[in-house]
Amino acid sequence: MQIIFCSVPYRSTLPGADNSWFSTEKREISAYVANRTGVLSFANLALAILFATRNNPLLWATGVSQTTSLIFHRWAARVSTVQAIVHSIIYTYTYFWDGGYSAYAAEAAKAYYWWGIIATLALFLGIALSILPLRLHFYETFVVVHIVVAILSLIGCWYHIYLRFALKWGYEVWLYLAMAFWAWDRIVRFGRLVYFNWVGVSTTATAELLTGDELIKLNIVPGRSWSYSAGQHTFLSFPSLGYRPWESHPFSIAGWGSSATAPVAFGARSPRGSTSENEKKTVEITSTPISNLLPTENMKSITFLIRAEKGVTKSLQQYLLSKPRGPQPIQVWTEGPHGYTVKLDNFGHVLLIGGGIGVTALLPYAQVFALKKSEKQTMTLAYTAREPELITLVKQILHSDVKGLEVNVRVTETESERMDIGAVLRKEAAKGGGNSRLAVVVCGPPELADEVRREAVKVVGDGMGVALFEENFCW
């Protein structure tokens, strides 16, 4: 669409028309192309900012996941940057046509021109410094730099237009929209923080290092209770660790219960694009109603299981290492639930495939399954991880006193042996003679998700019905 918008139609009014703007058709068409790519760059910049917001009204209206929205954000930003570069190249080249370098130098010395260069370079840097390795390994630095270059690009665009045209042609409207989208998100974020944590209520939390000191159990009782559902996440800030406004991170809500009887342990968001887990442990747990997690009238606690890596999770680990063993009170601010729930009611069989810490995004679906007590649906959780303590915790969550629980645990001890995804998929798809619809929900390292997708395609090719859903969160 963007290529079409930038390419057609262009019609010259020369010769014959009273056109005082252009001396030749070449100049006229070049100006049209440059102007259109410039305007479309502004429009896509506004869209890029809209899709970057976590309180995007389009998410509420459509049910699109934030991961998908962030994909739109990145592509809108890339298109905006390319259009800005094309705009700059064409206008730069046209100044050389008649007057050569002296004509270009005279124009480039003007303030509006320099602000245009600054805006274009800021857009380019925003893209170049957002590559996946930088986002993964230097996330906090990435966020700060990303915000700075975004602000610089908006300032550069504003002065580029204002100093050149004042407010005559309406180009600034796109910048107003971009600023409005950004301001809306920040205002709503602050409002949610105030509502859930500060006004007449307070959020309480405890954090505890588990065996091996790499996993952290975080239990939160929000100041205001939520209506929980599977697939949700929330953004958490840890002011007691040295609060910085940009350090607000998403974590999956993997379980819920009453404040007095919180679940044993649950999980943290597993970002799409994280490094390989090198899994060596596999667990398969079938038909998992979780009776010990049935709701109560006071249900309002949420629990997370966090793997300490870098940034804020590393800081949280170091904080707990400096404290006595056991649950420690910690100040946490939560911004309320985000996300969507995969609709699984219409499927006869559900297969949950988890890898590493990604299992934590799947456990709520098992909990919901238990709460419904459906006799028309079966569910299987197939899980692989490298940490024995993580597998132990998963088995604790799926408690042995569950009525009707069928458990088949298979733990492999060698690093080379991994879950046979194809065998697991075919086993579940074959239930009901291969005629029942199978829903597959996967969350884990990208290599696991890619393998599940490949094997699902093969199963579908054999005539079995499979619907694949990927639970992931990418920055």
Domain stops at, among 192, 218, 250: 192
pLDDT band at residue 266 under the 50/70/90 scheme: very low
Average pLDDT rounded to a whole number, residues 98-102:
82
Say yes or no to pLDDT of 279 above 80: no
pLDDT of residue 413: 38
pLDDT > 70? residue 32: yes
Asked if residue 252 and residue 157 are part of one domain, the reply reads: no
Per the listing, tokens 């090198």 go with 278
Q: Are residues 153 and 249 in the same domain?
A: no
Both 310 and 435 in a single domain? yes
Residue 60 resides in a domain = yes
Residues 178 and 208 occupy one common structural domain: no
What pLDDT score does 417 carry?
Answer: 60
Domain end, chosen from 141, 167, 192, is at 192
Residue of 446, 435, 437 whose CA lies nearest to 470: 446
Residue 104: CB atoms within 10 A of its CB come to: 18
Look up the domain containing 402 and give its range: 204-470
In a domain, 475, yes or no: no
Q: What is the dihedral of CA 218, 219, 224, 228, to 10 degrees?
A: 90
Same domain, 315 and 366: yes
Position 290 scores a pLDDT of 35
- Clarify whether residues 229 and 148 are in a common domain: no
Give the model confidence (pLDDT) of 338-390 as tens digits.
Answer: 887 888 888 888 888 888 888 888 888 887 777 776 677 788 888 887 777 77
Yes or no: say if 351 and 435 are a contact pair by the CB < 8 Å rule. Answer: no
Residue 105 domain-assigned (yes or no): yes
Q: Which residue has the higher pLDDT, 258 or 180?
A: 180
Give me the amino acid identity at 128: A
Structure tokens at 96: 């050389």
Claim to verify: residue 225 and residue 92 sit in the same structural domain? no
The type of residue at 18 is D
pLDDT at res. 307? 85
pLDDT at 451 over 90: yes
Give the CATH number for residue 43: 1.20.120
Q: Which of 128-142, 275-289, 330-344 has the lowest mean pLDDT?
A: 275-289
Q: What are phi and psi of 78, to 5 degrees?
A: -65, -45
């993964």: which residue's tokens?
A: 136
pLDDT of residue 410: 42
pLDDT surpasses 50 at 408: no
Report how far residue 258's alpha carbon sits from residue 202's, in angstroms, rounded to the nearest whole number.
17
Residue type, 164: R
In a domain, 360, yes or no: yes
Residue 346: its pLDDT value, please?
A: 83
384 Cβ neighbours under 8 A, 6+ residues apart = 277, 279, 281, 282, 283, 354, 355, 356, 418, 419, 444, 448
In this structure, the answer to whether residues 240 and 141 fall within a common structural domain is no
Does residue 274 register a pLDDT over 70? no
Instruction: List the Cα angle 249/255/258 in 5-degree steps.
Output: 115
Query: Is the link from the previous residue into 337 a cis peptide, with omega within 30 of 0?
Result: no
> What does the alpha-carbon distance between residue 448 and residue 281 come to, in Å, rounded to a whole number?
14
Asked whether the beta carbons of 40 and 6 are under 8 A apart, the reply is: yes
Q: How much is the pLDDT for 432?
A: 53
Q: Say what the pLDDT of residue 464 is.
A: 83
Which run of H or of E encompasses 333? Answer: strand 333-339
> Is 321 a residue whose pLDDT tops 60?
yes
Instruction: Collapse the DSSP code of 468 into the 3-class scheme (helix H, G, I; strand E, B; otherwise coil) and give the result.
Output: strand
pLDDT at 197: 84
pLDDT at 100: 84
- pLDDT reported for residue 397: 64
**Top-confidence range, 43-47, 96-100, 302-306:** 43-47
For residues 283-295, give the mean pLDDT.
Answer: 39
* Cα 396 from chain centroid (whole Å): 29
What pLDDT shows up at residue 455?
93
345 vs 109, residue with greater confidence: 109
Q: Are residues 321 and 418 in the same domain?
A: yes
Q: Does residue 197 lie within any of the structural domains?
A: no
Q: Tell me how many domains the chain contains.
A: 2
pLDDT tens digits, residue range 167-179?
Answer: 888 999 999 999 9
Q: Do 186 and 93 share a structural domain?
A: yes
Helices (H), 109-138: 111-128, 132-137
Whole-angstrom distance, CA of residue 57 vs CA of residue 15: 48
> pLDDT tier at 243 (50, 70, 90 boundaries)?
low
Q: Is 73 a domain residue?
A: yes
**Looking at 151-226, which runs of residues are DSSP E strands?**
204-209, 215-221
Q: What is the pTM of this model?
A: 0.79
Q: Which tokens is 16 given?
A: 């014959």
Mean pLDDT computed over every residue of the chain: 80
Is 198 part of any domain?
no
What is 4-61 written as a DSSP string? HHHHS-----TTTS--SS-SSHHHHHHHHHHHHHHHHHHHHHHHHHHHH-TT-HHHHH
Q: Is the pLDDT of residue 260 over 80?
A: no
Q: Are residues 187 and 66 in the same domain?
A: yes
Structural domain ending residue among the three candidates 129, 163, 192 = 192
Give residue 157's pLDDT: 97
Is 337 among the domain residues? yes
Cβ atoms within 10 Å, residue 71: 14
Tokens standing for residue 454: 């490949």
pLDDT band at 96 (very low <50, low <70, confident <90, very high): confident
Q: Tell whether 183 and 321 lie within a shared domain.
A: no
Q: 201-237, pLDDT tens digit by residue?
A: 778 889 988 877 888 888 888 877 777 778 888 889 8
Name residues whose C-beta falls within 8 Å of residue 106's C-beta, 6 or more positions apart in sequence.
99
